[in-house]
Copies of this chain bind each other. A is one copy, B any other.
Amino acid sequence: MSAPATQAAPLYDRVALIGLGLIASSMFWAIKRAGLAGEVTGYARSQNTRDTARRIGLCDRVCDSAVEAVKEADLVVLCVPVGVMGAVAAEIAPALKPGATVSDVGSVKRAVIEAVGPELPAHVHFVPAHPLAGTEYSGPESGFATLFDNRWCLMITDETTDRPAADRLVEFWKGLGSKVDEMDADHHDLVLAVTSHTPHLIAYTMVGVADDLRRVSESEVIQYSATGFRDFTRIAASDPTMWRDVFLANKDATLEILGRFTEELFALQRAIRQGDGDHLHAYFTRTRAIRRGIIEAGQDTDAPDFGRGPAE
């Protein structure tokens, strides 16, 4: 996908980004790339993060309170961990401009809607969203303008959604480089439990096991980290606070998928113990087809070295 063309006029006069980590900082650089906002204000709870943001030019104006940042904003995006979304919404609610759109980028939607929705005044439009993009890095210096290019952003809409507000937010995310789809919150949470949350938990677990094993030294685990484990460690290096909140907030769907996972794993374990090569071969052949689909859908590269050159 080529970079989106610069907009003729900004979609929003003022956008406020609350929380200045990987997603918000990438949003800022992508907003600037496409000229999507007249002004972007930003706020982070930590003084250190605000200082960094000012130093690197992240946001047109970094504010010392969330209330100040959202004043007169036409779009407010909550980019904080899922576990504190409700508290942040309560804090900014009295300062929100009538007619403003409030959105978020949380990885779980039902819990965010239940925490944020009741805090917001009736005169704003709440349209939750979730960009499916990330890296193993976090913090205000980790963002880059192309993070969302050709990635999906899932917007949560239903019969209560304000369509004009949602339509404008769709345009905004397309301007950031994303493809946009809409679904309800529960379906989103189940899809993400399968495609993201459970895989992360599994990767964290496997890396933890390797770290614990006394008969294999840590330096061996690190040096001989072949394909497989190396990918797991990248996943397992993601922000601990964000992921703690994800699992607590998407408990039911994660536990459901974990149950299915354990069942399948035990079946493969039994096949190994019994030497049932046919079962293993058939299973491994089936999973190959899914990979092809992902490459055809343009969600990954098929470079033979996974897009990585030899390490320096």
Chain A residues with CB under 8 Å of chain B are 1, 83, 132-137, 142, 144, 146-147, 149-152, 154, 177, 181, 190-192, 194-213, 215-216, 218-238, 240-241, 243-245, 247-248, 251, 254-255, 257-258, 260-262, 264-265, 268-269, 272-273, 275, 277, 280-281, 283-288, 290-294, 297-301, 303-312
Contact = CB atoms under 8 A, between A and B. Distances in A.
Contacts of A215: 190
Contact of A268 (B204, B221, B275): B204
Given A240-B284, A243-B284, A230 B299 contact: yes
A218 to B, nearest CB: 7
Contacts of A220: 191, 195
A206 B211 contact: no
Main SS class of interface, A: helix
Contacts of A273: 251, 255
- Chain copies in the assembled complex: 2
B149 A310 contact: yes
Contact of A300 (B234, B236, B243): B234
Contacts of A236: 284, 287-288, 290-291
A233 B306 contact: no
Given A231-B231, A231-B235, A234-B231, A194 B209 contact: yes
A202 B272 contact: no
Contacts of A260: 209, 212-213
